[in-house]
Amino acid sequence: MKYDVVLDIQNEKEEFNFTDIAKQSNGSVWFKCGKTVLLATVVVDYDEVVDDEFLPLTVQYIEKSYAAGKIPGGFFKRETKPGDFETLTSRIVDRSLRPLFPKGFAHPVVITVMVFSVDKVADLQRLALTAASAALYVSDLDINKSITSVRVAKVDGEIIYNPTLEELKNSTLDLYLSGSRDELLMIELRSIGSDEAQMIDFPSTDPLLDPSVGIEAVFVHKSNAISEDELIEIIDNAQKILFENNKKYEEAFKPYQKESKKLTLISTDVDEEIYKFVKTNHLDDIKEAIKNLAKSERNTELKNIAKKIKEHLEADEEDILKAVEKVKKEEVRRAILQEKTRADGRALDEIRPITIETNLLPSAHSSALFTRGQTQALVVLTIGTTKDAQMFENLTDDTPQNENFMVHYNFPGFSVGEASAITGVKRRELGHGNLAKRALEPIIKLDNQSIRLVSEILESNGSSSMATVCGGYLALKAADIETTEPIAGIAMGLVTEGEKYAILSDIMGLEDHDGDMDFKVAGSKDGITALQMDIKLGGISLDILKEALYQAKKGREHIIDIMLEAEKNIVHNEGVLPSSHHFHIEPSYIVHVIGQAGKTIKEIIEKFEVAIDLDKKSGKVKITGTKKENIHKAKEYIEGIVKKVAKTPKIEYKVGQRYKAKVARIVDFGAFVELPDGTDGLVHISKLAPNRVENVRDVVKEGDEIEVEVIELKGDKVSLAKV
């Protein structure tokens, strides 16, 4: 393959062929970086014009199994519907490139990125955007900006720009930024929880721990939320990298740009006469409508005004509606910038009223109904075992992975008053669920369990994804799940006009539509665990961004205080909720809790109706059940076994020595016995009597006391003969 452009970008060799592959598309690139090969194409339908409010852009990111030397799993041995990673990557590319298209662009555009070969260490989301942007830049569309991305990791306290996947696995931060030479367009962030060793001084007299230990290392889970100041510093440095890389791309790609074709742009201009008439005669009607729009995302109020005006004005209703929309937008922004008031009367940093109910679903493991203004999320939690995890396999994975923490977000039409049927999961729903997952995942540590959170959006006017975060945290607490700290989410907005600007907390749908920026930030009182930002302005100063982040922090603190009050009143769904308890015993005592061939632990499980997990190395004991009372009884029973063994002097067994033993369990091949210090031993059927024995029970029965002699020692196994 001949490459037209070869660049060194952040110590990576990137190669581009613009002339030989997929030549019937409007723009294409064969892109190679290491062992990764992608094809990106841009196709424009210049014959069709879509008269719609939204840009008719579709982005498809498609992975081919053969790229990693794999055959697709499942019944059909070919690629089928996109996986979650493919869908989320398509969204990232779409959100990064969409701002490049001119206002009023009306031709359908499809951008396709296909992965033909993959390097196991490749960051496919970064490379996909690079390829898509290159194909768009050299296409016959009149777009002359390059877009690229930077990923940031934090490993052992050190900031790494564009890390390898291996470095990212050990990172406490995953920050993805995209932008042009001049503008930061998109930010996505998640902090990554980790375990940190803390030395605990245990009393040497504790009978449940080895007296010789004294100090033991206990691993404590941390959320690793990032502070606002550190985030701003990282973004500042990342913007410099975006500038340098895009400068290289644009200079190198310019010779391969196709001649631009003439575009059809739908006029967004409003008829000046109609506009003046509406503003002069119907401003009060529009102001009243704005108050109602503040309570709902439905647009019927403005349509009714347009119909009313048409009765007195000879003009097309669509043109009238455009004028009404323009006056409405101007009035919303004017009130915010000049009067510092919002459509619903709130101050700029004021949060809407919040109400919380927990465990209102008696048969679910836990539930939380979180209502903030006209946004309402019912979040329901289910606890399962590791077998209930979602299995997935990314192209760069060697083996399938398990997702033990799942957040599923559903947005039915009735939540915004739409008469639409509930269908399959859309990209937006998948993205919002992923954002909530990123926010909550750092604060929990799953221990041999799976957790599924489902957010049912029952009403929406303003960020339902952030309501999902708040409801998700409360559902975790309503299920008695241990967390490192409370997490809340808030949607922020920005309105600017020249030098004036206003930052809005807890924005509603109206402010999202008419504002210049919206971003969603989730975290604790101390830092950020997840962030998603799309900038409509075409850039934002870091000073304003910093102010917005601190205003968001103030809003989170307010919401968290309300959530903590609600947390005090949680009543768990006893008898339904699987509860668990963790504690440690000295590892050498685990064998006594298990008993001969598991007899003791089976008896505990059956007697107290619990599940028990034991770790022989650490001595960790986990008891799970639906009744807390039984869990504590099982714990006391285990502690009783340990105390009994701890008080019994240990015997150093030697071959030839004889002891009294109690028959604990009979099997076909012999009898397991308990020696004086609790040690288990086996008397094989051939050692039960001088002559051949056909049935063990002909010689001994469970509970019998017999005299035995040690005939062999192998590790911790003691072989015996009946005397």
Pairing of strands 401-403, 390-392: antiparallel
Q: How confident is the model at residue 148 (pLDDT cuts 50, 70, 90)?
A: very high
183/112 Cα distance (integer angstroms) = 24
Q: What pLDDT score was predicted for residue 252?
A: 96
In tens, the pLDDT along 466-489 reads: 999 999 999 999 998 989 999 999
540 or 48, greater pLDDT: 48
CB contact set of 74 (below 8 Å; sequence gap of 6+)? 80
CB contact set of 292 (below 8 Å; sequence gap of 6+)? 301
Q: Say if residues 444 and 486 touch (Cβ distance below 8 Å).
A: no
Q: What pLDDT score was predicted for residue 667?
A: 87
CA separation (Å) from 350 to 343, 373, 490, 551?
Answer: 12, 11, 11, 10
In tens, the pLDDT along 444-461 reads: 988 778 999 999 999 999
666/672 Cα distance (integer angstroms) = 6
Q: Which residues pair with 496 in a beta bridge?
A: 501
Q: Considering the entire predicted model, what is its pTM? A: 0.81
Q: For the domain made up of 579-647, give the CATH fold.
A: Ribosomal Protein S8; Chain: A, domain 1 (3.30.1370)
244/258 Cα distance (integer angstroms) = 24
In tens, the pLDDT along 117-127 reads: 999 889 999 99
Highest mean pLDDT among 424-438, 496-510, 555-569: 555-569
Q: How confident is the model at residue 653 (pLDDT cuts 50, 70, 90)?
A: confident
The SS3 assignment for 57 reads strand
Query: Of 292-301, 515-524, 616-625, where does mean pLDDT reach its minimum?
Result: 292-301
> Mean pLDDT throughout 334-339?
93
Q: Does the pLDDT at position 208 exceed 50?
A: no
In tens, the pLDDT along 587-600 reads: 878 888 888 668 88
530/192 Cα distance (integer angstroms) = 10
Q: What tokens were used for 428?
A: 């937006």
> Mean pLDDT throughout 260-265?
84
Which of 489, 402, 409 has the alpha carbon at shortest distance from 446?
A: 402
In tens, the pLDDT along 673-719 reads: 888 877 888 899 998 988 888 899 888 898 899 999 999 988 778 89
Q: What pLDDT score was predicted for residue 609?
A: 85
Q: What is the dihedral of CA 375, 378, 383, 388, to 10 degrees?
A: -80
96 or 218, greater pLDDT: 96
Q: Does the pLDDT at position 329 exceed 60?
A: yes
Q: Say if residues 670 and 696 touch (Cβ distance below 8 Å).
A: yes
> Mean pLDDT throughout 141-162?
94
Round the average pLDDT of the chain to a whole number and report it. 88
In order, the DSSP letters of 640-659 are HHHHHHHHSPP----TT-EE
Q: Does the pLDDT at position 367 exceed 50?
A: yes
Q: What pLDDT score was predicted for residue 580?
A: 76
Q: Does the pLDDT at position 59 exceed 80?
A: yes
391/403 Cα distance (integer angstroms) = 6
> Mean pLDDT throughout 349-354?
96
Query: Of 191-195, 326-330, 536-540, 635-639, where does mean pLDDT reach its minimum?
Result: 536-540
658/708 Cα distance (integer angstroms) = 6
Q: What tokens were used for 268?
A: 């967004």
> Mean pLDDT throughout 395-418?
87
454/384 Cα distance (integer angstroms) = 14
> Mean pLDDT throughout 341-354?
93
598/551 Cα distance (integer angstroms) = 58
Query: Of 71-80, 202-211, 322-331, 541-550, where does mean pLDDT reach its minimum?
Result: 202-211
Q: What pLDDT score was predicted for residue 206?
A: 44
Q: How confident is the model at residue 219 (pLDDT cuts 50, 70, 90)?
A: low
Q: How confident is the model at residue 210 (pLDDT cuts 50, 70, 90)?
A: very low
Helices (H), 259-414: 272-293, 300-310, 317-334
548/523 Cα distance (integer angstroms) = 14
User: How far is C-alpha 69 from the chain's CA centre?
Assistant: 28
Q: What pLDDT score was predicted for residue 297?
A: 65
CATH number for region 354-520+541-568: 3.30.230.70
CA separation (Å) from 386 to 2, 234, 402, 444, 658?
Answer: 49, 37, 8, 15, 46
Q: What pLDDT score was predicted for residue 679?
A: 80
Q: For the domain made up of 658-722, give the CATH fold.
A: OB fold (Dihydrolipoamide Acetyltransferase, E2P) (2.40.50)
Query: Of 27-36, 220-229, 280-289, 630-639, where does mean pLDDT reach its minimum?
Result: 220-229
Q: Does the pLDDT at position 207 exceed 60?
A: no
Q: What pLDDT score was predicted for residue 537?
A: 57
Judged on CB neighbours under 10 Å (0-12, 13-18, 19+), 604 is: buried
533/696 Cα distance (integer angstroms) = 73
Q: Does the pLDDT at position 202 exceed 60?
A: no
Query: Of 194-198, 339-343, 466-470, 494-498, where does mean pLDDT reach its minimum?
Result: 194-198
DSSP annotation of 536 reads S
> Mean pLDDT throughout 372-385?
94
Q: What pLDDT score was predicted for residue 203?
A: 42
401/352 Cα distance (integer angstroms) = 40
358 or 511, greater pLDDT: 358
Q: What tokens were used for 452?
A: 């599924």
In order, the DSSP letters of 469-485 are HHHHHHHHHHTT---SS
327/334 Cα distance (integer angstroms) = 10
On the CB side of 437, CA atoms within 13 Å amount to 17
Q: Say if residues 114 and 39 touch (Cβ distance below 8 Å).
A: yes
46 or 651, greater pLDDT: 46
Q: What tokens were used for 193?
A: 């929880």
Sign of CA dihedral 59, 64, 65, 68: negative
Q: What pLDDT score was predicted for residue 151?
A: 96
In tens, the pLDDT along 530-589 reads: 999 987 655 678 888 999 999 999 999 999 999 999 999 999 988 788 877 788 888 878
> Mean pLDDT throughout 296-300?
70
Run of H or E including 561: helix 542-568
CB contact set of 418 (below 8 Å; sequence gap of 6+)? none
Which of 571, 403, 370, 590 has the alpha carbon at shortest distance from 489?
A: 370
Q: What pLDDT score was predicted for residue 212?
A: 41
Q: Say if residues 64 and 32 touch (Cβ distance below 8 Å).
A: no
Q: What pLDDT score was predicted for residue 538?
A: 59
> Mean pLDDT throughout 598-613?
87
User: How far is C-alpha 534 from the chain's CA centre?
Assistant: 18
Q: Does the pLDDT at position 377 exceed 90?
A: yes
Query: Of 72-76, 229-233, 341-345, where does mean pLDDT reach its minimum?
Result: 72-76
Sign of CA dihedral 698, 702, 704, 707: positive
> Mean pLDDT throughout 3-29?
94
Q: What pLDDT score was predicted for residue 665?
A: 83
Q: Say if residues 27 and 140 touch (Cβ distance below 8 Å).
A: yes
CA separation (Å) from 160 to 150, 165, 573?
Answer: 10, 12, 45
284 or 211, greater pLDDT: 284
CATH number for region 5-256: 3.30.230.70
